[in-house]
Chains A and B, each alone.
Chain A
Amino acid sequence: METEVPTATHAGEDFVTTKTKSRKRKQPSMDTSDISNPSEKRPHFKPLKAVTSSVSKEIRRIPVPPHRYTPLQKDWLKIFTPIVENLKLNVRFVAKKRQVEIKAGKETDDIGALQRAEDFVKAFVLGFEVDDALALLRLDHLYLESFDITDVKPLKGDHLARAIGRLAGKNGKTKFTIENVTTTRIVLADSKIHILGSFQNIQIARRAICNLILGSAPSKVYGQMRTVAARSASRI
C-alpha cells in the first residue's frame, strides 16, 4: 500500500504531488484506514456511566416540618416505593433529624433520578398530595413555584387573613376552580403559595391568584377562568 501511494519523500521521480497549504492549525493527520490501534491515534472513551463517583457519594436531605410528619408517616409506603423501584435510589427517613435522605446506589442508571426524587419529596413536604407530587416524578415538564402573598402586596393582619380567605373561597371552591381550569395544584400555606404544574399553567394560575390577592372579586376571576377554559377546550 505504501509503495503504491507516492508520498512526499519519494517525490521527484514520477509524480510531484502538490501540497496545498492549509491555514488551519496543523493537527496530527488521521489515517482512517487503520483502526487496529486506537490507543495510538485517537482517544477512545467508554460510554458514560449513569452515576459517576461524585454523584454516587452525594446524599440529599430533606427536612420535614412537624405538620407534615404524620402525613409522611401515613403515605410513606406510597412515597418510597416509586423512588426505590422506578428510580432505583436509596431512601430513608431519619427520625431523629426528621429528615428524609436520598442517596444514589449502584443500581441507579439515570443521573437525574436523584434530583427528581428530591423534588418529589420536597413537593410532598410542602403540602401537595402524594399523587400530585408523583406527577413530578413521571413528567419532566412540571415545575414547582412558590411565592408569598406579601410579595404581591404588602398586607398585614386582617387584610392578609381576608386575602387568604379570598384565595381559598367558600369551601375552597375558588382554589378548586383555578386548579381545575389550569390543571395545576395549589397549596395555600398561611401566607405562602405553592403552585405545581406545567410552565404555562403555572403562569395562568399565578395571574389569577395575584389578581385575587390584589383585591379583585372572585366572580371576575371566575369570568377570566371561563375564558381560559373556553380557549383550552377549543384548542383540544
Chain B
Amino acid sequence: MPSSHLSALMMLSSQLLSTGRFNEGLPAFITRGLDSEQIWQQLELRNDHKSSLTACTREVIRIQSDAGKRHARSKQKKDRKVKKISTDDAVDDADSHSSDSLEDENMINTIKKRLDEQPLGQNSLDNLCGTGSEDSEEDDVDFDFEMDKELSKGLSDEDEDLNESSLKTKTKDKKLAKTLPKKPSVVDDKFFKLAEMEDFLDSEDGKEEKRKKKEEKNETVEEESEDEDEAADEDVDMFNDLDDEDDDAMGAMYVDFFDPPEDGSPEQKARVEKKKKHADNHVDGMSEDNEESDDVDEESDDPIYGDEIDEDDEDKANEDEDDVEHESEGGESTRETEADKEEERKTSKKSVSFEKDLLESDEEAIDEKVASKSSKSSFEKKQEQLQAEAREMEEQSLKEAPWELTGETTASKRPENSLLETVLDFQHTTRAAPVITDETTKSLEDYIKQRIKDKAFDDVERKEKPKEDPFEFKKRIVLDQEKSKLSLGELYEQEFLKQQQEDKEEVKADPECEKIETDLKKLFQQLDALCNFRYTPMKAGTEVKILVNTPAITMEEVAPTATADAQLLAPEEVKEKIKGDLKADDERDSTDKKRDRRHKKTEKRLRNKAKEAREKVVEKMKPGLGNKYSKAKAIKQLEQISKTDRNVTVIKAKTEQVVMARDVAIDEAKAERVVMARDVAIDEAKAEQVVMATDVAIDEG
C-alpha cells in the first residue's frame, strides 16, 4: 500500500511538474488505477487549498467539457496574483501529504528546487496534456507574457475566489508584466496599448472559432454547460456570501482587474521600480520584520481610509505574512487568526513610522494604496481629492511667488526675456500702425480704379486772381434806368418772336447752309490738327461804348427840371484808384521809392519799345529820310552832338531872331522864303539856301 501510495503521489507530482501547474488542482481527475482512498485524497487536494464548492464544481465541469475560458483577462489577472501563493501552497500541500516519508520529502524538495530553477520554456510539455481545456487555456494564454503563460497554466479559474491577492504578488505580477516589452505605437495611451488590443482580439477570435466548433458537436451538453458556465463565469460569485475577504461584488475596482496606467513619467517609473523592489523583496523572502514594517508603513501612511479598506489591507497583509511565516502550517485558512491580526494591526497603526522619506511624494504611496484598496465610497473619493488639492495649494502658498505676482519688478528681478514669453496687457496710447494685408491693397486698388473710371481726380486747379480793371468795371452790365419805350406787351411779343425764330432756325434745313456748315467743320478740324488741338480762344475784345463825360442831367432830361452836379462817369472810371495810402514824395520809404523807380522804368521801357516798333514800321514803308520821323530824329541827333562837340553847330531855320538879324541884309525874297520855310515844313534844300544866304550876309556884313 505505501508503495502504491508513493507511486501515486509520484505520478501526481510528476504530472504537476510536467504541466507546470502549481495548483493543488490536478490537470485531470484520475480515477484509473487508484484506490478509493487515493481518489478521496485527490479530492482533498483539490478542496483543501481554500477552494470553495463552486470552484470544485467548475473544475468538474471543465474536466467534462472543454468549455474554455470565456473571460480570460480578469481571471488571468487574478491568477497572476495567486500564482506565487499557489506555488507555495502547492508545495505545502505536497509537503503536507508527503510528511510521512523522508523520501517523499526529499522528492518534494527536489521538486521544489526544480520549480525554482526551472525556466520558462515548457511549451513542449503542454502537448502531453491532451485535454481540450488546456488547449483553450493555451489559446487564452497566447497573448500573455511568457512567464505568465507557465504560471497561468498551473492556475485554475476557481482561484479568483481566493483572496490571495496580496500586494506583493500583485507587485510581482506587475513587475513581471512590465518587464516584458511591448511594441509601442502612436496610439498608445495611459490606458490603451495597441499591441495588447491586438493580442486580445486574436485570442477572442480563436475562442470564437473553438466555441463554434464545440457548438456544432455538443449542442445539448453545451446548453447545460453554457448556463452553468455563465453562472460560473460571472465575476460575482453568489456562493461567496460568507467570504468577507473577497469583496469582488462590493469593491470591484479597476485596479483589481487592470494594472495602473503607464504614464511613461519618471514618477511612474519610480513607482514601478519601487514595486519591483517590493516584489523582489517578497520573492526573495524578506525578514518578517521588514515585511511587517513595510506593511505598517504602508498602512500608517493612510490613516484616512475607511475601516473596511484597512481591514482588507490587513487581511492581505495577514495573508502575506501567514504565507510567509506559517509555511510549516497546513493550508488551513488564516481566517481564524484574522481577528487577532486585525487587533494587532489596529494597535500597530498608531505607531507612525518616519522611516519613509517625508519629501517623498505622497502620490506614490497614495497611488499604491489606491491601487490596493478596492472599496471606497464616493464621498471618500471626493475627500481624497479635496485633500490633495488642499495639499497642493498649501505647497504653492509656501513656495515663492512667481515674478508676475510680486508687484513692481525690474529687469534684474525677473528672468531674462520673460516679458517676451508672458502675455502682457497694457494700454496702447498711440494709434496702431495699419496692418497692410493683401485685402487692404486690393481694396485700395479697386478704389483707385473706380476713381479713374469716374474720372474723379483730385487735381489742383489753377486759381486766377480776378483782375479789377476799370475796363472790367465798365464792361459790366449797365442797367437801363430810363423808362422803357416799349410797352409790356411789346416786350413780351419780342421775346416770343425771338423764341419762335430760334425754333425756326433750328428746324431750318437749308442745303446750302448745311453744306457751308460741313465745310466749315472740316476746315476747323484741320486747323485744330495743325495746332495739335490746343486751341486757346482769343481774348474777348472790349466793347466800346462811348460815354461822354457830360453832366448826367443833360443826357437824361431835355428840359432840366433840376440841376445836378452828378456826372455819368464814376470817379473810378475817371481816374484809377490808388492802392494803399497817399504819400508825399518826402514821406516815402525805400521800398516805395524803389517801387516808384521800377514803375517808372517799366513805363519808359514800354514806351521806348512802342516807339521803336512804330519807327520800324515807318522805316519799312519809307526808308531813308523820306519821312518826317527820321528827319526829326536826325535833327535831334545833330543837336545832341552839337552840345558835346564843338565842331558841330546846328543852325535852326525856325528861329525868328536869326531871321530878324538878317532882315537888313537879306533880300526880301529871301526873307519871304525864310518865312515860308518857317511856316511850312522845313525842306532841307531851302534850309541850306538860308544857311548859305546868311553866310553871304555875314561875309558881306
Contact = CB atoms under 8 A, between A and B. Distances in A.
B492 interface: yes
A174 B480 CA distance: 10
A139 B496 CA distance: 11
A139 B479 CA distance: 26
A69 B34 CA distance: 174
A138 B484 CA distance: 19
B488 A132 contact: yes
A173 B483 CA distance: 8
B472 to A, nearest CB: 14
A180 B487 contact: no
Interface in B475-532: 476-477, 479-484, 487-493, 495, 498
Chain B interface size band reads 10 to 19
Contact of B481 (A132, A177, A233): A177
A208 B483 CA distance: 17
Contacts of A183: 488, 491-492, 495
Interface in A180-222: 180-181, 183-185, 196-197, 222
Interface string A146-178: 000000000000000000000000011110110
A55 interface: no
Contacts, number: 61
A180 B481 CA distance: 8
Contacts of A196: 488
A229 B477 CA distance: 8
Contact of B479 (A138, A185, A197, A222): A222
Contacts of A135: 487-489, 492
A226 B492 contact: no
B489 A180 contact: no
B488 A176 contact: no
Contacts of B284: none
A203 B30 CA distance: 139
A185 to B, nearest CB: 5
A139 B481 contact: no
A171 B488 contact: no
B488 A173 contact: no
B556 interface: yes
Interface in B123-180: none
B557 to A, nearest CB: 8
Contact of A139 (B482, B489, B498): B489
Nearest to B495: A183
A91 interface: no
A230 B475 CA distance: 12
B489 A179 contact: no
Contacts of A51: none
Interface residues of A, number: 29
Nearest to A171: B556
B483 A172 contact: yes
Contacts of A131: 487-490
B488 A180 contact: no
A226 B480 contact: no
A233 B477 contact: yes
Contacts of A177: 479-481
Contacts of B492: 135, 138-139, 142, 183
A79 interface: no
Contacts of B557: 171
Contacts of B498: 236
B558 to A, nearest CB: 13
A117 interface: no
Nearest to A197: B488
Nearest to B566: A170
Contacts of A138: 489, 492-493
Contact of B487 (A134, A230, A236): A134
Centre residue among B487, B493, B498 by max chain A CB count within 10 A: B487
A129 B493 CA distance: 17
A113 interface: no
Interface in B260-279: none
Contacts of B487: 129, 131-132, 134-135
A135 B487 CA distance: 8
Interface of B: 476-477, 479-484, 487-493, 495, 498, 556-557
Interface of A: 129, 131-132, 134-135, 138-139, 142, 171-174, 176-177, 179-181, 183-185, 196-197, 222, 225-226, 229-230, 233, 236
